Structure 1
Amino acid sequence: MDHTRVTEYLARLGTPRPAAPDLAALRTLQRAHPMAIPFENLSVRLGEPITLTEEALVAKVLDRRRGGYCYELNGAFAALLTALGYRVELLSGRVLARGGAGLPFDHLALRVWLDGEAWLVDVGFGQLSAEPLRLAERGEQQDAFGTFRITEHLPTGVSGTTTDPLPDLDVAQDGEVQFRLDQRPYQLTDFVPACWYQSTSPDSPFTGRTLCSRLTPQGRETLVGGVLIRTVDGEQTREELTTAEEQRSAYRELFGIELTLDEVKRLS
């Protein structure tokens, strides 16, 4: 990513260019990302191809003013962080939250190295931690979005500790494991088959309903089909948007996404 694209990306996030690739700047960038760029599956629902290259992901975020799901959001964010001087690696996760089966590569998360310490960074899970988590920490980590704990996953029949030099890591939020991380670094191309599956399979959680969601300073705004869900200071309200024009306006005004009326009707 060149200097111009970095400037455009930071402008969309509403953050200044970091003076150095340090932890304070990383925290600021991670907090800003889900407020500026929505988690959404519109491409999946509209049958648009999802291309896992840095150029395509950044173009979707900057030129089309869109968001995406984990492969897209964390893929684009990785490109930004790398351009800012961070050492970033892509990790494969298996989603286990809410009893999920957890297929390999069904989640893409980021490992960022700072002064020899590894941090888990994730802006593509809907709502994980607000700030980076220490991957080596085995105690509780307090965050604005809950209490997190990262533990080594022990294979069946193994107790205590494992001798595997790179054991999988279970990432739990408020006592519930969200996903299991493979600690080996991967490339974007390694996620292509899983991304295709998630965007086409009737068994995928992304093909059955339309979702667009963005954090706000007071909570979250989410459009699920034609239902607008607003959370403000822990209080939730629901509003039925009955016409395509109402939904189109919500996409534009709440998420900055321009859609045609035909596209909105196809998303309903």
Structure 2
Amino acid sequence: MTLDPTIDADAYLARIGADRPRGTTRADLAALHAAHPRAVPFEDYDIHLGVPLSLDPDRLFDKIVTRRRGGFCYELNGLFAILLRELGFDVTLCSAFEVGPDGGRGPDFEHLRLLVRTDDGPFLADVGNGASWTEPVPLEPGTHGGTQVHRDGELWWAFRRTHEGHWEREWGWTLRPRELAEFLPRCRYQENDPRSHFVNRRLAALATANGRISVVNGVLKQTEGDRQTERTLDPEEERAVLADRFGIDLGGREWKTGS
């Protein structure tokens, strides 16, 4: 599997509502990054419909661009990396993992994060992080808006500021280059293992102009600044919200009982 296939970049750009960038600057990357999580939902409904996931670039393009669905980190960041390379950016796929307070590391390939080298320096990109990252983050220790970046040797990790204003520990990663195929075994775990968060939680999330909207196990949550509202949806309402607010058409298929 390779990250160098030719894709229809113009169709992808139309999908996210972004113009073709003129170059490979920080501003060019930021415009693409901001548009993506507002247009393409972070979602895992195929897992709950029993539809096998694929990291094949052609199938990712068909799902996300042609059929206008979303996906989770391996799918969204995997395809975004292909687009960025098509547009001239230098992109490295990085394996991300949990880091405990004592520095202990969880399994590799738990999350896919991108390192993008622009004309203005290296930045982290992540359009598959639950619609919580809406802009690239400098690969530099320090506080960058709502993200804190830390480094200890080869180990990098981050904290994210929640809408309540608290700092919450996020992913760790190294800069070792990876290939998309290396993430496939962990993708299979995420979609099939009973211990997987995704098996136990159906969800969809989009960034908005001032916050985020999500459906998690039938609970609709909307965040605007520091204000959050939520309400429980019945299955019919959930389907309607998925279609109307997230553009997710399940085609009349039922998710598995208990999901």
Query: Are 2:244 and 1:236 aligned?
Result: no
What are the equivalent positions in structure 2 for 1:1-268 lying under 5 Å apart?
A: 2=6, 5-96=8-99, 102-115=106-119, 117-135=121-139, 137-142=140-145, 146=146, 148-153=147-152, 162=153, 167-174=154-161, 175-242=167-234, 244-263=235-254
Q: What RMSD over aligned residues (CA atoms) do the two structures have, in Å?
A: 2.3
What CA distance in whole angstroms lies between the structure 2 residues aligned with 1:267 and 1:42? 13
Listed as ranges, the gaps of 5+ residues in structure 2 are 162-166
What secondary structure is seen at the aligned counterpart in 1 of 2:230?
strand
What CA distance in whole angstroms lies between the structure 2 residues aligned with 1:97 and 1:223? 28
Bigger relative contact order (CA 8 A; separation at least 6): 2
Structure whose CA Rg is larger? 1
Task: Rate the CA distance shift 1:97–1:78 in 2: closer, same or farther, 3 A.
Answer: farther
Once the two structures are superposed, residues 95-127 of structure 1 have per-residue CA deviations (whole angstroms, 9 ceiling, x without a partner) of 348999621110000011123832111111114
Give the TM-score of the pair, scaled to structure 1. 0.85
Task: Confirm or deny: 8 A CA contact 1:222 1:229 kept in the other structure.
Answer: yes
Q: Percent identity, aligned pairs only?
A: 39
Task: Rate the CA distance shift 1:17–1:258 in 2: closer, same or farther, 3 A.
Answer: same
Once the two structures are superposed, residues 31-69 of structure 1 have per-residue CA deviations (whole angstroms, 9 ceiling, x without a partner) of 111100011111122221111122221211012211111
Give the TM-score of the pair, scaled to structure 2. 0.88
What CA distance in whole angstroms lies between the structure 2 residues aligned with 1:101 and 1:45? 29
Task: Confirm or deny: 8 A CA contact 1:42 1:267 kept in the other structure.
Answer: no
Task: Rate the CA distance shift 1:211–1:259 in 2: closer, same or farther, 3 A.
Answer: same
What CA distance in whole angstroms lies between the structure 2 residues aligned with 1:182 and 1:101? 11
Listed as ranges, the gaps of 5+ residues in structure 1 are 154-161
> How many residues are treated as equivalent by the alignment?
249
